[in-house]
Amino acid sequence: MSEEWLLADSNVPNGWSDPENAYDGDEDTYAQNSAGPMAWTSFIELYYDIPLWCTKLRYWYNWSYDSNNYVDLDAYIDGAWQNVYQGSSTWGCWAERNVPTPGMCTAIRVRLQNRNGMFSNTYELREYQAYGEQQGTEPEPYGFVM
Would you say domain 4-134 falls under CATH 3.30.450.20?
Answer: no
Look at the pTM and tell me if it is higher than 0.85.
yes
- Sequence spans of domains, the chain: 4-134
Written as one string, the DSSP assignment of 58-117 is EEEEEESS-S--EEEEEEEETTEEEEEEEEE---SS-EEEEEEEEEEEEEEEEEEE---S
pLDDT (tens, 9 = 90+) of the chain, 146 residues, equals: 688 999 999 999 999 999 999 999 999 999 999 999 999 999 999 999 999 999 999 999 988 766 678 999 999 999 999 999 999 988 889 999 999 999 999 999 999 999 988 889 999 999 999 999 998 654 344 444 44
